[in-house]
Amino acid sequence: MRRREFIMVVGGLTWPFVTWAQLPRVAKIGILVLGNSDPDEFLSTLRAGLLDRGYVEGQNVQLEFRSANGNIGLLPDLAAELARLKVDVIVAWQTPAVEAAMRATREIPIVMASAGDPVGTGLVASLARPGSNVTGNSGTTAELAGKNLELIREAMPSAHRVAILGLSTDPFTKAFVAQIEIAARTMGIAITTIEVSGEGEFEAAFSTMAREHVDVVIIQPSLLHNGLVELALKYRLPSFSPNRLLPAMGGLISYGTSFADLYRTTVVYIDKILRGAKPADLPVQQPTKFELVINLKTARALGVSIPPTLLARADEVIE
């Protein structure tokens, strides 16, 4: 039977979908993560989504998982290793991993499981026409970083000095910081920006915040790490992030893209590519669903009284 093409709509986007395409005998999927934050939820959701589409590990699909365990300097070698294995597609979680995969190969399709501002950081030419071997999800947008300032003002009206903690080697950091600074100017909030390259600089960063009398810290998603959250609690500093992993780790509040939506869409991209679609022809998916998560246990520990109106709007409250 010859292939037939029709148009499928996902998240408001239309793209060609090829049916009855010949799959590799065993599809080989490379997965590349920075690994500052625990990838277990991502991996379990990805596996479940693949299984729903008929991909069974050990039968018709093989997953090659590589994590830099928070050491961004390891990503280029791990990406090159996946390229040498000649995987059919590389799934990269967060901007640094996508960038490393792009440098390792221009031939193997790359799916962004989540990447901040992929046009601004040069990962794709445009959202509608990625134009290379990269497509996928635009996860944390720079605008979401500014939204966290609004939540800070609502949750802690007396907070006037906010620190931004960013990953110095992440190409998304510049846009992340810029959007917060724009929002801060309109709200009369003073910003202290601190960039670190890894775990060894965490303690010094929080010491600087203490000296600067910072009231709140916003943590960039690619930098999320249990050690950071522990230090925020040690220094009694409320923490915010556009990533729901923060309150799950013990941070205070997150407002960001729905992980469930991101991961489901990632599987759709993988399936399309394995069936013959070209990344350049698959539009980048922008986030359409957002979640507010509040860790009430952490709020109590820090003496922060969350307004009932904010609690009522939360998609999840961690007790």
- Residue pLDDT, tens place only, 8-65: 444 444 444 434 345 557 999 999 999 887 788 889 989 999 999 999 999 999 999 9
Tell whether 193 and 284 lie within a shared domain. Answer: no
13 & 112 share domain: yes
Instruction: Identify the band that residue 158 occupies on the pLDDT scale cut at 50, 70 and 90.
Output: very high
Q: Comparing C-alpha atoms, which of 135, 123, 170 is closest to residue 284?
A: 135
Residue 15 CA: distances (Å) to CA of 125, 132, 296: 17, 16, 42
Amino acid at 196: V
Q: Are residues 106 and 62 in the same domain?
A: yes
Looking up tokens 């009932």 gives: 308
Looking at the structure, do residues 37 and 172 belong to the same domain, yes or no? no
d(CA 266, CA 225): 23
Rounded Cα–Cα distance for residues 255 and 71 (Å)? 26
Same domain for 261 and 125: yes
Condensed to tens digits (0 to 9), the pLDDT of residues 72-113 reads 899 999 999 999 999 999 999 989 999 999 999 999 999 999
Among the residue ranges 136-140, 165-169, 232-236, 279-283, the one predicted with the least confidence is 136-140
Query: How many domains is the chain partitioned into structurally?
Result: 2
> CA gyration radius for the chain?
20
97 with 152, same domain: the answer is: no
Q: Per residue in 178-221, pLDDT tens?
A: 989 998 998 999 999 999 998 899 999 999 999 999 999 999 98
130 in the same domain as 278: yes
DSSP 75: H
β-bridge pairing 190-196 and 239-241: unpaired
Identify residue 167 by its one-letter amino acid code.
Answer: L
pLDDT at 96: 92
- The two tokens of residue 3 are 């292939």
Q: What is the mean pLDDT of the chain?
A: 89
Answer yes or no: is pLDDT of 281 > 50.
Answer: yes
Q: Find, among 318, 268, 282, 313, the residue nearest to 55 by Cα.
A: 268
**What is the average per-residue pLDDT within 211-232?**
94
Assign residue 77 the CATH number of its domain: 3.40.50.2300
* 250 and 261 both lie in a single domain: no
Q: Which residue has the tokens 């801060």?
A: 184
Q: What is the value of pTM for the model shown?
A: 0.84
- 59 neighbors 50 (Cβ within 8 angstroms): no
Segments forming the whole domain that contains residue 13: 4-140+257-290
Residue range 295-305: mean pLDDT, rounded: 97
- In terms of domains, do 32 and 69 share one? yes
Paired residues of 135 in beta bridges: 111
pLDDT band at 260 (very low <50, low <70, confident <90, very high): confident
Whether 303 and 224 map to the same domain: the answer is yes
Same-domain pairing of 61 and 187:
no
Q: Are residues 20 and 105 in the same domain?
A: yes
Residue 24: per-residue pLDDT: 57
Are the C-beta atoms of 216 and 237 separated by less than 8 Å? Answer: yes
- pLDDT given for residue 37 in this prediction: 78
